[in-house]
C-alpha cells in the first residue's frame, strides 16, 4: 500500500502541474483527494485517475487567447462599449459591397441606409437557423490548441442572402472592431463558394454568438465573431462588425502578412498533457495527451521511447523510422465539461445523434481527441519520449504538410528519467 500511495502522490503532483500549465485541458476537480480514497475508488490505477481529470470542452475563461488592440476592444468602459457597438444591445453588422470591386447587391445591410443587422435581427434568424457544432480553436503559429468549444451561430450565408446579391461576387472580406484605427484592423476572407455551400460533411461558417451554451464574452470575441470550422484561428475574426462582399479574387487576410498560409485546413497532430519527468523503475508510467483532428481525420496516436544516445536514423527528418507504438485513443467522455450544465450537451448539436446524444463518428474532425497509455517495465536510464498521429489516410505527423506556417505540427519531444529503485 505504501508504494502505491507514494506512486500516486508523485503521479498526482505531476499530473496536477501539467494540467495547471495546460489550464485549458483540465482544471476543475483538481483538488487533491486522499491517496487511500483514490486508490480504493480507482483500484490503484493512476492512469484511470489521470484520464478522469481530462476535460473535453474548455471553459470559455480557460481558453488561450490571441488578440490585438490598444486598448483591447472589450476592455473599454461600459459606456464606450455601448457607443462602439460592442454590447448586444448596440451591436450592428454591416454587409456591404466592396467599393473597389463591387458585386451587384440589391439590398445591402448598411448603417447609412439604417438596414444594418442588429442583435434582435440576428436572434430572429437564430430562431429558425441556429446551428451548434464542436470546433477546436488553434492558432496556426501556436504549439498547442487554445481550447475546445461548442460554438453556436447563424450560418453566414443567411445574412449574405439578405443583401440579395445578383452577380460579380467572388469573395467575402470581414473585419473586427479595431478602435477606428486602421493600423489595428484585423481582417480575414473566404471564397464565397465556401460560405454558400458546405463541402460534404462539413459545418457551415457561422456568425457565432455562443460558446458552450453561454453568450460570447468580449474576450472570446463577443457580441459576435466569425467561426470557420475547418480553419485555424485567424479566420475566426472577433468583434465582427463589417462584412464586405467583393468581386476581388484574392485573400486580404491580416495573416497573409507574417508569411502565414491563409488557405490551410486544420492539421492532425498530437501533444502530451501529463507525463512524469522522473519515475522509479518498476512503476507503471501513465501518460495522457491530446490530438487535434484535422481535415484528414485521426486513425492512431503513437509514442516512441528513445534511450538518450541511441542513434537516430540518417536522413529521417520526420522520425518515420522510430520504434513507434500505439497509444489508446479515448472514447467519447461521459460528461462533456466546459461549463455546460451538468456537462450535458444541448439538443441539436451537429455530428451528434439527437436521440442518444452520442457522436455519430469518433474522433470528430476539427475537434479534440484525448489519448493515453501506460509505459511498463522501462529500464533505468534517460529517455526522449515523443508522440505523433497517424491520420485516416495513413499519413504520419508532421506529413503530409510539415511546414510550420500552415499550422505548427512538429513532433513533440519530452524527457523522462527512470531511476533504479533505492536500497
Ligand X SMILES: Nc1nc2c(c(=O)[nH]1)N[C@H]1C(S)=C(S)[C@@H](COP(=O)(O)O)O[C@H]1N2
Starting from the edge strand earliest in sequence, which strands make up the sheet with 367-375, in order?
269-274, 285-293, 367-375, 328-329
Contact stretch for Mo ion (CB under 5 A) within 62-70, 99-107, 143-151, 386-394: 62-70
| Coil/strand/helix, residue 254 | helix
Q: Closest separation between CB of residue 146 and Mo ion, Å?
A: 8
Q: Closest separation between CB of residue 70 and Mo ion, Å?
A: 18
Q: Closest separation between CB of residue 239 and Mo ion, Å?
A: 15
233 is a site residue for ligand X (CB under 6 A): yes
Question: Is 35 or 139 the residue whose CB approaches Mo ion more closely?
Answer: 139
401 is a site residue for ligand X (CB under 6 A): no
Q: Closest separation between CB of residue 237 and Mo ion, Å?
A: 11
Within 10 A of 101 (CB to CB), how many other CB atoms are there? 18
Which of positions 122-181 make contact with Mo ion (CB under 5 A)?
139
DSSP of 282-340, one letter per residue? TS-EEEEEEEEE-TT---EEEEEEEETTPPPPTT-TT-TTS--EE-EEPPPPSS-BTT-
| Coil/strand/helix, residue 104 | strand
Q: In the structure grid, which three cell numbers stand for residue 192, read together? A: 464565397
Q: Closest separation between CB of residue 141 and Mo ion, Å?
A: 6
Q: Which does 236 bind (CB under 5 to 8 A by kind): ligand X, Mo ion, none?
A: ligand X
Question: Is 22 or 137 the residue whose CB approaches ligand X more closely?
Answer: 137
Contact stretch for ligand X (CB under 6 A) within 2-10, 31-39, 192-200, 228-236: 228-236
Question: Is 158 or 220 the residue whose CB approaches ligand X more closely?
Answer: 220
Cα distances from 341 to residues 324, 336, 338, 344, in angstroms, run 40, 9, 9, 6
CA angle 262, 201, 188 (to 5 degrees): 20
Q: Count of residues binding Mo ion (CB under 5 A)?
A: 4
256 is a site residue for Mo ion (CB under 5 A): no
Q: Do residues 134 and 361 lie in contact, with contact meaning Cβ atoms separated by under 8 Å?
A: no
x/- mask, Mo ion, residues 202-241, rule CB under 5 A, reads -------------------------------xx-------
x/- mask, ligand X, residues 151-190, rule CB under 6 A, reads -------------------------x---------x----
β partners of residue 415: 384
| Coil/strand/helix, residue 259 | helix
Contact stretch for ligand X (CB under 6 A) within 60-68, 267-275, 392-400, 412-420: 60-68
Question: Is 63 or 234 the residue whose CB approaches Mo ion more closely?
Answer: 234
x/- mask, ligand X, residues 61-80, rule CB under 6 A, reads --xxxxxx------------
Among 221, 223, 322, 339, interactor with ligand X by CB under 6 A: 221
Within 10 A of 173 (CB to CB), how many other CB atoms are there? 19
Q: Closest separation between CB of residue 197 and ligand X, Å?
A: 24
Question: How far is it, in rounded angstroms, from Cα 268 to Cα 326?
Answer: 16
Question: How far is it, in rounded angstroms, from Cα 310 to Cα 308?
Answer: 6
Q: Do residues 269 and 351 lie in contact, with contact meaning Cβ atoms separated by under 8 Å?
A: no
Among 133, 239, 319, 336, interactor with ligand X by CB under 6 A: 239
DSSP 39: H
Q: Where do contacts with ligand X occur on this chain (CB under 6 A)?
A: 63-68, 137, 139, 146, 176, 186, 220-221, 233-234, 236-239
Amino acid at each position: 500500500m505504501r508504494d502505491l500511495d507514494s506512486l500516486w502522490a508523485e503521479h498526482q503532483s505531476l499530473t496536477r502541474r501539467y494540467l495547471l500549465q495546460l489550464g485549458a485541458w483540465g482544471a476543475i476537480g483538481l483538488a487533491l483527494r486522499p491517496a487511500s480514497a483514490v486508490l480504493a475508488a480507482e483500484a490503484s490505477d493512476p492512469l484511470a485517475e489521470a484520464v478522469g481529470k481530462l476535460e473535453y470542452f474548455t471553459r470559455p475563461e480557460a481558453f488561450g487567447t490571441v488578440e490585438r488592440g490598444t486598448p483591447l476592444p472589450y476592455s473599454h468602459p461600459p459606456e464606450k462599449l455601448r457607443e462602439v457597438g460592442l454590447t448586444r444591445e448596440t451591436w450592428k453588422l454591416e454587409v456591404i459591397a466592396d467599393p473597389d470591386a463591387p458585386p451587384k447587391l440589391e439590398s445591402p445591410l448598411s448603417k447609412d441606409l439604417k438596414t444594418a443587422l442588429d442583435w434582435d435581427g440576428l436572434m430572429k434568424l437564430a430562431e429558425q437557423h441556429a446551428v451548434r457544432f464542436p470546433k477546436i480553436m488553434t492558432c496556426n503559429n501556436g504549439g498547442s490548441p487554445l481550447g475546445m468549444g461548442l460554438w453556436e451561430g447563424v450560418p453566414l450565408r443567411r445574412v449574405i442572402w439578405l443583401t440579395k446579391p445578383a452577380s460579380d461576387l467572388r469573395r467575402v472580406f470581414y473585419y473586427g472592431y479595431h478602435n477606428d484605427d486602421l493600423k489595428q484592423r484585423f481582417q480575414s476572407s473566404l471564397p464565397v463558394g465556401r460560405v454558400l455551400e458546405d463541402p460534404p460533411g462539413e459545418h457551415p461558417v457561422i456568425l457565432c454568438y455562443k460558446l458552450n451554451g453561454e453568450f460570447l464574452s468580449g474576450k472570446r470575441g463577443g457580441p459576435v465573431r466569425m467561426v470557420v470550422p475547418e480553419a485555424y484561428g485567424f479566420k475566426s475574426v472577433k468583434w465582427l462588425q463589417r462584412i464586405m462582399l467583393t468581386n476581388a479574387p484574392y485573400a486580404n487576410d491580416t495573416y497573409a502578412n507574417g508569411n502565414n498560409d491563409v488557405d490551410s485546413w486544420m492539421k492532425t497532430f498530437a501533444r502530451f498533457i501529463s507525463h512524469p519527468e522522473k519515475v522509479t523503475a518498476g512503476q507503471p508510467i501513465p501518460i495522457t495527451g491530446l490530438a487535434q483532428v484535422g481535415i484528414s481525420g485521426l486513425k492512431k496516436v503513437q509514442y516512441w521511447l528513445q534511450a538518450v544516445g541511441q542513434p537516430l536514423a540518417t536522413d529521417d527528418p520526420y522520425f518515420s523510422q522510430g520504434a513507434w507504438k500505439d497509444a489508446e485513443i479515448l472514447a467519447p467522455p461521459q460528461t462533456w465539461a466546459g461549463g455546460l450544465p451538468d456537462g450535458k450537451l444541448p439538443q441539436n448539436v451537429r455530428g451528434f445523434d439527437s436521440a442518444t446524444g452520442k457522436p455519430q463518428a469518433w474522433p470528430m474532425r476539427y475537434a479534440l481527441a484525448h489519448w493515453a497509455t501506460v509505459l511498463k517495465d522501462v529500464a533505468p536510464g534517460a529517455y526522449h519520449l515523443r508522440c505523433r498521429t497517424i491520420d485516416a489516410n495513413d499519413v504520419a505527423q508532421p506529413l503530409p504538410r510539415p511546414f510550420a506556417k500552415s499550422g505548427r505540427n512538429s513532433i513533440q519531444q519530452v524527457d523522462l528519467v527512470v531511476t533504479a529503485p533505492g536500497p
